[in-house]
C-alpha cells in the first residue's frame, strides 16, 4: 500500500455536540500520559504489543516523542492522529492509519476512550465524524475498522454506525501478549452517500435525548 502521495492537511476541529476531534499536539503529552496511566487496566486487554515482549508500558513515560512521530504521518500522507475531547476535556485518541492512495484509496481507524466517560456515546460520534471527513473531505473510497470479537463495546459502535461486516481475520494483530483474531468492518462512499454522521444522529434521536446538546458543526456531507 502506498501513502496518499501528498501531505494531509490539518482538518481543524471536527465537532458533533459535546464531542470534538483535533490533531494531536505537544500540549496533549501530559494529559494523555495521565489518562493512559489511569486507564492502564481498562485498556491493557486491547493494547497492541510487540511479539518479542519489548515495549514501554503506556502512561509510564512522556508522550512527546510519540506525538512527534504521530504528527509526521500528516506530512507523509499516511495517517491522521486525533485526540478526542468531550466538553473540552481530552478523553481519548483516534488514529487514522494505513492511508493509501492510488487504486486503493482507503484508510483504517483505531480508537480508545477513558473509562470515566465510557457509555456516553462519545466513540460513535468521533468515528462517524472521522469517516465522513475521510470519505468526503479527503476523498478516500473506503474506511476499515478491525475489532477483537471479545470487544463488545466496539462491536456496538460499528453496529450503530451500520458498517458492513467483512469477516474474521485470524491471528491478525498482536494484542495483550498474543496474536488475536479480529472482526473486519468497512464502509465505502457508495455505502453511505448521506454520510455516517447522519446515521448516528438519527440513531441517537430514535433512542432518546442526545447527551450534551445538539450538533454544532460537521464535516462535509452530501445532500
Q: What is the total count of domains within the chain?
A: 1
> Is residue 213 in a domain?
no
DSSP state of 215: -
Domain extent, residue 166, equals 14-207
Distance of CA 34 to the CA centre of its chain: 20
List beta partners, residue 142: 106, 188
3-state secondary structure 183-206: EEEEEECCCCCCCHHHHHHHHHHH
Helix or strand holding residue 166 (H, E) = strand 164-175
Does residue 25 lie within any of the structural domains?
yes
CATH number of the domain at 54, please. Answer: 3.40.630.30
Please write down the HEC assignment for all residues of 48-102: ECCCCCCCCCCCCCCCHHHHHHHHHHHHHCCCEEEEEEECCEEEEEEEEEEEECC
Tell whether 214 is covered by a domain: no
pTM of the full structure = 0.88
In the three-class reduction of DSSP (H, G, I as helix; E, B as strand; rest coil), residue 132 is classed as helix
Q: Is residue 39 part of a domain?
A: yes
Q: What is the pLDDT of residues 127-165, one digit of tens each?
A: 999 999 999 999 999 999 999 999 999 999 999 999 999
What pLDDT does residue 47 have? 85
Rounded-to-5 percentages of helix, strand, coil across the chain: 30, 30, 40
pLDDT tens digits, 157-206: 999 999 999 999 999 999 988 999 999 999 999 999 999 999 999 988 88
4 part of a folded domain: no
| 215 lies in some domain | no
Answer whether 181's CB lies under 8 Å from 171's CB: yes
55 grid coordinates = 515495549
Q: What's the pLDDT score for residue 207?
A: 79
Amino acid at each position: 500500500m502506498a501513502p496518499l502521495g501528498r501531505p494531509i492537511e490539518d482538518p481543524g476541529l471536527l465537532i458533533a455536540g459535546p464531542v470534538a476531534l483535533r490533531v494531536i499536539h505537544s500540549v496533549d503529552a501530559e494529559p494523555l500520559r495521565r489518562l493512559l496511566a489511569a486507564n492502564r487496566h481498562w485498556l491493557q486487554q486491547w493494547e497492541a504489543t510487540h511479539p518479542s515482549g519489548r515495549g514501554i508500558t503506556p502512561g509510564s513515560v512522556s508522550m512527546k516523542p510519540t506525538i512527534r512521530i504521530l504528527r509526521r504521518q500528516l506530512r507523509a500522507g499516511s495517517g491522521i492522529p486525533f485526540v478526542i475531547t468531550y466538553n473540552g476535556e481530552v478523553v481519548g485518541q483516534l488514529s487514522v492509519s494505513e492511508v493509501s492512495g492510488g487504486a486503493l484509496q482507503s484508510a483504517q481507524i483505531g480508537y480508545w476512550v477513558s473509562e470515566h466517560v465510557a457509555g456516553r456515546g462519545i466513540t460513535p460520534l468521533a468515528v462517524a465524524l472521522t469517516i465522513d471527513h475521510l470519505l468526503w473531505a479527503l476523498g478516500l473510497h473506503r474506511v476499515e475498522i478491525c475489532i477483537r470479537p471479545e470487544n463488545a463495546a466496539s462491536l456496538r459502535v460499528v453496529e450503530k454506525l451500520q458498517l458492513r461486516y467483512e469477516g474474521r481475520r485470524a491471528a491478525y494483530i498482536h494484542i495483550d501478549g498474543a496474536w488475536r483474531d479480529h472482526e473486519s468492518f468497512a464502509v465505502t462512499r457508495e455505502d453511505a452517500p448521506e454520510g455516517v454522521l447522519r446515521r448516528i444522529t438519527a440513531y441517537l434521536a430514535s433512542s432518546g435525548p442526545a447527551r450534551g446538546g445538539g450538533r454544532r458543526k460537521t464535516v462535509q456531507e452530501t445532500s
